[in-house]
Chain A
Amino acid sequence: MKSIPAPVFLLCLLAVLISVPVVEAREPDSTLARRIAEHADTLMRGSSNSSTYRMTIVRPEWTRSITMDSWERGKKLSYMEVTDPPRDLGTAYLKRDGQMWTFLPNIERTVKIPPSMMMDSWMGSDLTNDDLLNESSLLDDYGHELVGADTLDGVAAWHVRLIPHEDAPVVWDRIEFWVRQGDFMLMRDEYFDEKGRKVRTMSYEEIKTMDGRRIPTRWVLEPHLKKEGNRTVLEILDVDFDVTIPDRYFTRQHLERSR
């Protein structure tokens, strides 16, 4: 499942969407959808941020939460470290040049995630390893189309449709997403397969101001197709945009440093 909504990506995308309120709510024109994506894509590449977020995995029988610190620069580099619960403390992930490693503090070893595990669950959540590693680009890999005005949960929204290019390495048939009219706040996106079935939904809730920007701080990912009742919730606890992150953060040495 080549896909978009990795926390990495989302942070960037949101950063973009929120930092572009310049695009005023006018009459929807044919380029509006593309411009949203364009801004998203450009800023995503250049964007760097550090954040703290909490991931809650909900299963029919149990629920668990993990808190993480994350640093990222562009799409190629990111580093994440678990700070809570204590039993996971120090577990870390490094993404670099299309490869991913994980550091296991209890044995102080680093393991590379093999391609065969890319579709496996990341830390038991509904995200896959590939969701984190994925480098697909909204601009390069998708065509954009403004479906029109819509109402979502009683709020006026623009409905935008992303259709992957012919040769883009994306399994989706299309992605539908909704932004709030007025401030382009992302509200929801839905992923469809070629049979027209909805495979998963991401909802964006609880808009707050963080580091000077209004962003949704709670994202809920729900897989469909035989996985009803499962849910992964990401909550941004803190975020700093456009920070300078030293290069050494994205190295194996940093991942393996004694802590």
Chain B
Amino acid sequence: MILFKLAWRNNWRHRWRSGLTAAAVVFGLSITIWGFCFTEGSHEQIIRNSVESFTGHVQVHRKGFHDDPSLRKVFYPDSQFVPELEGGVPGLANYSFRISTFGLASVGETSFAAMIVGIQPEREQEFIHWDRKIEQGRYLHPGDINGALVGADLAENLGIGIGDTVIIVTQDYYGSLCGALRVVRGTVRSHARELDRGGLLISLASAREMLSMQGMANTAVVMATGSEQVPQLISELDNRLGAGGLEVIGWRRIMPDIVQAVELDNVFGILTNLILLLVIGFTVLNTFLMSVMERIREFGIMRSLGASPGRVVGLIVVEAALLVGLGFVLANIVGIGASVYNSVHPLDFSEMGGDELSKFYGMDPRIYTRLTWQTLVYPNLFVAVVILLALIYPAWRAARISPAEAVSRRH
């Protein structure tokens, strides 16, 4: 207890220096916490946007479809999928079925390659939120067999608008060339570039009819209750569906480019934070070292009165702990406070050029910070490590002080 009193008194004796050091810790740590929350938030947003733009968290296909897609590789949802899910699957929020294939979208003499996707309009609306992606016109009504949604760029290239008829040409399940006429109900501006440039969405019922694929699907899009649940969801689905010849694939495998972009951004985020923390570390090192150097006499006397080197180091450490501890507490209050605030009131980058960028990368220009235990624990750990490093030399120096040195060195 006496140690604490001593330490506190010494910190107080140099209140400017102590205050500045604590402030530096508060500054560095709170910015790092907020920075981590910001990075995490923007990544969560990129992932959510990508997942919700089209792919879902998890996709289920017939084995082999993912590596070598073919219209022949189908499954029967009513017998192969739905029954296996009975009793509920933990982490599963929603799912729907699709048929996707490639073909031609044609108007007059103009034709373009198109990715034709049959979707279940009501089911997908719940998690893909198609209605938010409609640029013009409206979403597909339930039971709309004749309607189609067309990627905005594709519609522009074809020169068609709402109410116009588009000819779809593709091969059906049996390989026969088939055509279909669909009326454009809306144009889609998602954040998936392939979809905007070549997407042609019709209802699953309509696709099944066109492609002679009654009762079949080639993709199940599954949404987890949260991105954290995805790994368990994949293994659970794999357990239940694997035996039936189905393959379960998570978004990390579906979109490896996004996974890497996020990873890379994390590396840069950590590096920049590290630079900041090193600079802070020098301030802390300076304070500790000075506090040792100017008390060589004092420590010498302590030693000559019988205090062990350990006790001297203990005093230094407790002093530092008091100072830094205060800094940590304040930093976490400030950092968490700012992060929570920005998780409700997002940062809006649309004013300063985030518009096109967000369009390109498929993001909302408003970025919400996201506080998780990682964004809290890692910055605190980083700062603690940096401060411990800064404490090593001063503590070592203090331990080496001998009574003789203290006397010989007059301040």
Contact = CB atoms under 8 A, between A and B. Distances in A.
* Direct interface between A and B, CB < 8 A: yes
B176 A87 contact: yes
Greatest chain B CB density within 10 A among A104, A112, A116 is at: A104
A22 interface: no
B112 A116 contact: yes
A102 B177 contact: yes
B171 A124 contact: yes
Interface string B164-204: 00010101101111111100000000000000000000000
B169 to A, nearest CB: 5
Given A91-B176, A124-B171, A114 B112 contact: yes
Contact of B180 (A107, A123, A124): A107
B101 to A, nearest CB: 12
A247 B113 CA distance: 32
A237 to B, nearest CB: 20
Contacts of B174: 64, 87
Contacts of A258: none
B180 A111 contact: no
A124 B71 CA distance: 11
Contacts of A64: 174-175
Contact of B104 (A61, A62, A91, A117): A117
A64 to B, nearest CB: 5
A104 B177 contact: yes
A88 interface: yes
B196 to A, nearest CB: 18
Contacts of A124: 171, 175
B232 to A, nearest CB: 34
A209 interface: no
A106 B112 contact: no
B80 interface: no
A195 interface: no
B212 interface: yes
Contacts of B179: 104, 106-107, 109, 111
A117 B167 contact: no
Contacts, number: 58
Nearest to B71: A124
Contacts of B110: 114
A113 interface: yes
Contact of A88 (B113, B169, B176): B176
Contacts of B380: none
Contacts of A59: 72
Contacts of A114: 104, 110-113
A111 B111 contact: yes
Contacts of B106: 111-112
Interface in B91-148: 104, 106, 109-113
Interface in A196-216: none
Contacts of A91: 176-177
Interface residues of A, number: 22
Interface of chain B: mostly helix, strand, loop or mixed: strand
Contacts of A106: 178-180
B102 to A, nearest CB: 9
B175 A107 contact: no
A111 B174 CA distance: 20
Nearest to A109: B167
Given A107-B167, A114-B104, A123-B175, A87 B212 contact: yes
Contacts of B175: 57, 64, 123-124
A228 B181 CA distance: 36
**B104, B112, B181 — most chain A CB neighbours (10 Å):** B104
A61 B181 contact: no
Contacts of B171: 123-124
A107 B110 CA distance: 17
A124 B178 CA distance: 12
Interface string B307-338: 00000000000000000000000000000000
Nearest to A92: B177
A112 B109 contact: yes
Contact of A62 (B72, B111, B177): B72
B104 A111 contact: yes
A217 B42 CA distance: 65
Contacts of B180: 106-107
A61 B72 contact: yes
B154 to A, nearest CB: 13
A64 B176 CA distance: 9
Given A113-B104, A114-B110, 11 more contacts: A64-B174, A87-B172, A87-B174, A109-B167, A109-B179, A109-B181, A114-B113, A117-B111, A123-B175, A123-B177, A124-B171
Interface of A: 57, 59, 61-62, 64, 85, 87-88, 91, 102, 104, 106-107, 109, 111-114, 116-117, 123-124
22 contacts: A64-B174, A87-B212, A88-B176, A91-B177, A104-B167, A104-B169, A104-B177, A104-B178, A104-B179, A107-B181, A109-B167, A111-B104, A112-B109, A112-B111, A113-B111, A114-B112, A114-B113, A116-B112, A117-B111, A123-B171, A123-B175, A124-B171
Among all A-B residue pairs, the 7 with the closest Cβ atoms: A104-B179, A124-B175, A114-B111, A107-B179, A111-B106, A88-B176, A107-B181
